Chains A and B, each alone.
Chain A
Amino acid sequence: MSMDRRQFLKIAGISSILGFGASVASATHTIWEPGLKPPQVEPNPDGLIAKRWAMVVDMSKFKTDEDIKKVTTACHQTHNVPDFRNPDGTVDKKFEVKWIWEEPYERTFPGSENKFMSEHIKDMPFIVLCNHCDNPPCVRVCPTQATFKLPNGITMQDEHRCIGCRFCMAACPYGSRSFNWTDPRKAINPATENKAYPTRTKGVVEKCTFCTERLQFGKLPACVEAAPKGAMFFGDIEDPNSEVRKIVTSQLTIRRKPELGTGPAVYYVIGGSDHA
């Protein structure tokens, strides 16, 4: 079919008008209606609630590698995170899935290192996880709304909806998201598997959920429970009496890459005073 310029513009114009109509229709009609509404469904009465969940990590309280290992293992076992290993026992980077892990200083707070800084801090491993940003780039790019913000500030992931496009992985400036390149069950030890939590499947992206499922049953996140005393705090940053708020108000805390405007909700204390 041949088409001259005028015909092309006519069709393009009409299509864009129709397209505009469709976008108005979708803006005035809710795309997704919940199938079950209160009072038929209700939150668990024992659940912890907050206006804005946040976490404080005091790195000075992690004395040994064991302390860090305990935290990451607790998280990964609770959530059935696969542990892919090479034949020589090292982590298989190709298939690695991580919710909480360690990074050196220069990759945790890039740009803030300097030539003369303390060797101790420079070489210290930092615990990193999803920052549950105020303005999460992963949510903005997700084409299926599989990742979305909960009203309590948690950046949640709905694996049922994930189509595995990995836009969110490209968008996340913290590398907090992992893709399941293969069936994760191959790398989950059935002996330590958490029977109360699902695994994921091949082709979906996963990340830390701030233990949404534990909060809803009145429990603190698994990492916070496993951390040494006074090393990790979790609470409502909007509540002036919460521990996290008191720490953040009373001393210097830093967040990862705040200059990007994502508004991370994980605060780091690097110095050493007690506040437990």
Chain B
Amino acid sequence: MNAWRAAALLCVVWLPALAAGGQALDGATRENWLHHGGTQSAWRYSALDQINAENVSRLVPAWVFQTGDYVDGLQSTPIVIDGVMYLSTNSNHVFALNAATGEQLWRYEYKGQPTAGFWVQFQPHNRGVAVEAGRVFLGTFDNYVVALDAATGGELWKVNVDNTAQCGCMIRSAPLLADGKVIVGVTGGDGAFRGYITAFDARNGRLVWRFHVIPGPGEKGNETWKGDSWKFGGGAPWSIGSYDPELKLLYWGTGNAAPDFYSGDRVVTPRRTDAGINLYTASVVALDVRTGKLRWYHQEVPNDVWDYDSAYEIVLFDAEIDGRPRKLLLHMNKSGVTYVQDRVNGKVLNAFVVPEASNWIGGVTRDGKLVDRREPAVGEMRNFCPSGFMGAKSWNQMAYSPRTRWFYTPTLETCMNIESMPQKPVEGGFFVGGTGGVVLPPGRDNYSHIDAFDPLSGERKWSYPYRYVLLASILATAGDLVFTGNPEGFFFALDARSGRELWRFQTGAGHRGSSVTYAVESRQFIATPTGWGSIIGGMAAGLFPGEGEKWRKGSAVVVFALPEGE
């Protein structure tokens, strides 16, 4: 071990806690990358600063691991604990690797039953595992949650969450570990399906609770659905939530109502916007982690008719507002409307629009009310920005730095033509209620950017433009760096304070996953998945004929560090 390095690492471990005032929520990672979002607060921020704005230009590849699973790119977030990296791939293969060398320790291949017939819905994708107390947890393409022995990769338990062929749903997200439970949502948001979040006991796989996004008959909120429409009303919480262990509250974003573009059969008339429409779709819900009971909710898009999910990650952070320390959360809706809320009671404290191309509303008030909505219509194709399919960003996650107190997000500038069509539901089948296609907004020469925003003021601090669309997560570090990758294969670092590009490296394939950082024996590593793919990735490539087809597939983890001995 290099003594200088050890000293440097020890220093950075303590600095953020002091900077944040000691008591404020600390969502930073250090040697380990423990959870999908780094920590349960989803900052995607590391306190490691061995690699910093001064020396990042000297980064070199340390090792590369080819997964051999080239199904549809690599969307994963690696988990790193005590020098071991746990990585999952789209075909539900799981690898344990020596995080310093890339040597494979074990490999597990999930043997499930791929569902034939329904092509788009059941394309296997996987965004990562969760690891805790010697167990590795995986959600599968046929709806099982599997626990593996972290030492051997052997199965410990597995339990079925739902019947894939019937529900049209599957698990693509990494599970969230909270309060001894392994918690998963499901896909199915564009299908005739009723979404839910399920919690299992991490020790033995036994069911602890299930929260239905759409309340059943007799439950509060069911009255916001017309007739039987609640049965297949969507709301699939297909991504991952966050957790505040002090409040024992779980925060999760829910999917759009189904059918996506036509609400005539699901909305009670006359519309009541004050109490919400089609609850609890397109909402952030706060659940008691012990029971799964709803504590509060905030519906971001009442009567969603654009496919504006609220399923994305939820960043938990603390800040002073008007001289008072507040427990907050930050959440971007797929529409790009971004909310800052008190995470104790859900009160909206700030709301603002992130993308530049935004014509579905006139704006949003500071307390989160949508102003001047324009809606799709039957028998007429209308143009809306941002696009519902791709979103103002995709599921790829933003990062939050406690040093700048800004968040960093990939922002997409795309639009969509939508025509509403009434549709009858078939359980588990597509239930889109219309049609549409993603198009580029006119008059631009860039279609995405990485933005730094102050969440409290809603002010954009800097913007790094990019010609195509950025579909990889952001990583922020105490070295005042922001990392991400682009579809052309470049992995790059920006100065977190200015947005200036400091370094780039061609990894050989497009970026659609989530990079992480960690340390082994005091050497800091930056690891990025690489390998273009996914339905949205294909759609994005199609927007740039003659160029998009150059974005390369693949499935590898490329890991960087400063040269040995430096």
Tell whether A and B belong to one assembly: no
